[in-house]
Every structure is written in C-alpha cells, then in structure tokens.
C-alpha cells in the first residue's frame, strides 16, 4: 500500500496533460475556422465599400479591419475592372464595371501544444470577392458605408 501513495497523482497528471492538449487543440482549430470566416466576411465588406465609395479611398481597408484587425495594406489587393473585363487603373463611376478585393499572405499562428510542432505560422489561402459597380461615390445616401 505504501508504494501506491503517489500513483493517483501521477495518473491524474498524465490524463490532465492529454486532456488539456486535446482541449486546447480543439479551441485552436475553432479559432482558425473563426479567422477563416472573418477573412471571407472582410473581403465581402471591402468589396461592398469599394463599389459604393470613391475609388482609391481607404474605406475598404478600414471596414475590413473591423473583422481582422491584423490586416495591413500589404495584405489587401483591390482591382477595378472596366467594361471589357480588364483591370483598369483609370476607371471612375462612369466606366468601371466592378471591383475584386483580395486578402493575400494571411498567416495563422497556432497557440495550442498541438500546433507547437508546426512552429511557423500556417499560410491561409487567398480570399477574394468580386462585385459589380454600383454608385462609386455618386450616392449621397452612402455616407454610412463611406465614413
């Protein structure tokens, strides 16, 4: 009986380590899915702000940061397309056909013990949304989106 005094504590420690590793892995995986969904939603909001507001405004990035605060201008690419479907650098509210907003080079850093084996951040795929042109700064009632 004397030899078994600390066996329960050792067993508990082993089970607790295993349980916490699995539990934190599940939480971290859920966090990754949340980041994935937030990136998708951020591109939608960025595209919406781009087709409603003036071209070249920083409103799209500002709206996207509401979903992913870690976004920078280097992560976001906005392309405007003319009526023929080609990327245009000079389009305006009269001749732009649409906008495509992309999030690129977004990395996810694991924080759970399961992810420690990866060490480096995991690259996420590029996210993009295309929307046809709407008013591009011509609607006086769009101040809520463009402010």
Question: What distance, in Å, lies between the first and last C-alpha atoms of the chain?
Answer: 74
Q: Is the pLDDT of residue 120 over 60?
A: yes
Average pLDDT (116-134) is 81
What does the pLDDT read at residue 145?
Answer: 53
Q: Is the pLDDT of residue 42 over 90?
A: yes
Neighbours of 115 (CB within 10 A): 18
- Higher-pLDDT residue of 133 and 106 is 106
Lowest mean pLDDT, pick from 46-55, 78-87, 136-145: 136-145
Residue in 47, 54, 145, 48 with CA at minimum distance from that of residue 93: 54
Q: What percent of the chain has pLDDT over 90?
A: 22
pLDDT tier at 127, thresholds 50, 70, 90: very high
Do residues 48 and 57 make contact, with C-beta atoms less than 8 angstroms apart?
A: no
Neighbours of 80 (CB within 10 A): 22
Neighbours of 137 (CB within 10 A): 15
SS3 at position 82: strand
Mean pLDDT of the chain: 82
Radius of gyration of the chain, Cα coordinates, nearest whole angstrom: 23
């Amino acid at each position: 009986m004397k030899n078994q005094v600390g066996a329960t504590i050792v067993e508990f420690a082993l089970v607790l380590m295993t349980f916490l590793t699995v539990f934190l892995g599940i939480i971290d995986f859920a966090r990754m899915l949340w980041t994935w969904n937030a990136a998708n939603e951020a591109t939608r909001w960025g595209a919406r702000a781009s087709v409603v507001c003036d071209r070249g405004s920083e409103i799209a990035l500002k709206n996207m940061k509401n979903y992913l605060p870690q976004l920078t201008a280097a992560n976001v690419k906005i392309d405007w397309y003319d009526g023929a479907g080609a990327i245009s650098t000079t389009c305006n509210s009269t001749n732009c056909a649409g906008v495509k907003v992309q999030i690129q080079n977004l990395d996810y850093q694991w924080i759970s013990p399961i992810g420690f084996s990866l060490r480096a951040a995991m690259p996420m795929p590029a996210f993009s949304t295309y929307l046809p042109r709407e008013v591009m700064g011509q609607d006086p009632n769009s101040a809520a989106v463009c402010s």
